[in-house]
Amino acid sequence: MSVVIALAALALLMLAAYRGYSVILFAPIAALLAVLLTDPSAVAPAFTGVFMEKMVGFVKLYFPVFLLGAVFGKLIELSGFSRSIVAAAIRLLGTRQAMLVIVLVCALLTYGGVSLFVVVFAVYPFAAEMFRQSNIPKRLIPATIALGAFTFTMDALPGTPQIQNIIPTTFFSTNGWAAPWLGVIGSLCVFAMGMLFLRRQLNKAQAAGEGYGNDLRNEPETASDLKLPNPLLALSPLVLVGGANLLFTHWIPQLYGTTHSLQLAGMAAPVTSDVAKLTGIWAVQAALLLGILLVLASSYRVIRSKLAEGSKTAVSGALLAAMNTASEYGFGAVIASLPGFLVLANALKSIPDPLINEAITVTTLAGITGSASGGMSIALAAMSEQFIAAAHAADIPLEVLHRVASMASGGMDTLPHNGAVITLLAVTGLTHREAYKDIFAITLIKTFAVFLVIGTFYATGIV
């Protein structure tokens, strides 16, 4: 019964998200209903001590990233930079390659270390312009961005700096380049199958006479008579953000060390920061600030008349996206603390093959929590020693455990209640009903790739 309660809460939240109800409202409702059916006396403490604690903690860490990402994307839109790059790409590649261009831009940014959420805000103006000019249905934008940002460069491609590739290093004593050949094989599989699927969906839509669409929400606001800047200038803010993010990632630990104690004159006690855990966040914030300053410096005269209204729109979008994701994060924390979740996690330990066990466990927990990093952290914290012992017994390198765990975390994580999915749909102005089925197809491709990698290792021994 405890397992049924946990799964019912998950189903309720997924149904609410799919039908377009606010996750900010339904995440606590679903979580607390599960607590009520488990232990009625724990409802209030669970709400304050678990749900709100995790929700506020997420906002504390990540809201500046959402805010700066939204402002950066809005300025890219108002300045005409997005339209300039799209026009140049169409001249070079033609309208048939619009999806490929967006996937590659997303992939380059995420592989460069830019947060997935920032990529959504930054790339959407480009995608909307390109899809409109190419007459591709807007409902395919979320799946296209998801393929480029939420898949192979997030957890499969060797060396990716995304957190989903970093978490396993602390459990298996590996590094981000673990199992490079398996990672490349998995990446190629996801990329090729994903592009084939998107092309198939586009062909079906065009055969049915479907175009970009009308009366859509959250459309870019670039003035139609705006003189477009040079494409190289328009591309420079994206290059700056990616490059500066890498540089700040190296510089911040050198400047502050592993921890930093802040003691100002008015403080009763010093504030200590774990720099190792904050480096990625600080780096992307600094990089986005530089990107924003570059756009302002190069096109202030163009955007100044719309800057006040545009910044309000960006802040509103950032607040909605951050609160949606934070609320879902709190839901995952509550569900993970319930007995049913522990029963389910323990039941997964009975799968005999170590790699299959790890893959199913990580992707299942990531799906339940709606978080790739959250599900993987829970699974590895509870079962990494068991995985390691079984791998040693079967003569499986720990690098393979690392790559399977990382890729599995990005398998079923993108269910309807996933924070990144909700943010993606909110930014693009689309609903689950309009666009989620194509995202789910990408999710299935990601999951298939994990088991393809496992089969490849067993068949060839390649690492």
| pLDDT of 43 over the 90 cut | yes
| pLDDT of 297 over the 90 cut | yes
Residue 138 is predicted with a pLDDT of 95
For 200-205, which contacts have Cβ atoms below 8 Å and span 24 or more sequence positions?
201/140, 201/143, 201/438, 202/99, 202/136, 202/137, 202/140, 205/136, 205/137, 205/140
CB 328 within 8 A of CB 23: yes
8-state DSSP, 262:
E
| pLDDT top residue among 271 and 196 | 196
| pLDDT top residue among 339 and 317 | 339
| pLDDT top residue among 146 and 288 | 146
* Radius of gyration (C-alpha) of the chain in whole angstroms: 22
Residue 90 is predicted with a pLDDT of 76
Alpha carbon of residue 125 to chain centroid: 18
Residue 429 is predicted with a pLDDT of 92
Residue 222 is predicted with a pLDDT of 62
| pLDDT of 403 over the 90 cut | yes
Measured CA to CA, the distance from residue 327 to residue 329 in angstroms comes to 5
**Percent over 90 (pLDDT), the chain:** 37
Residue 159 is predicted with a pLDDT of 83
Residues contacting residue 23 through CB under 8 Å, at least 6 positions apart: 13, 16, 17, 324, 327, 328, 417, 422
Measured CA to CA, the distance from residue 402 to residue 400 in angstroms comes to 5
| pLDDT of 225 over the 80 cut | no
| φ, ψ (nearest 5 deg) of residue 384 | -60, -40
Residue 180 is predicted with a pLDDT of 92
Mean pLDDT in residue range 292-316: 89
CB 301 within 8 A of CB 293: no
**Percent over 70 (pLDDT), the chain:** 98
Overall pTM > 0.85? no
Residue 287 is predicted with a pLDDT of 87
419-428 and 116-134 helices, crossing angle to 10°: 40
Residue 401 is predicted with a pLDDT of 95
Residues contacting residue 401 through CB under 8 Å, at least 6 positions apart: 168, 172, 354, 355, 358, 387, 388, 391
CA atoms within 13 A on the CB side of 185: 20
Confidence band of 224 (pLDDT split at 50, 70, 90): low
Residue 65 is predicted with a pLDDT of 82
Confidence band of 428 (pLDDT split at 50, 70, 90): very high
Measured CA to CA, the distance from residue 177 to residue 400 in angstroms comes to 11
pLDDT in tens, 46-80: 999 999 998 898 888 888 888 888 888 888 888 88
| pLDDT of 322 over the 70 cut | yes
pLDDT in tens, 79-127: 888 778 777 877 887 777 889 989 988 888 788 667 787 788 888 988 8
| pLDDT of 444 over the 80 cut | yes
Residue 135 is predicted with a pLDDT of 92
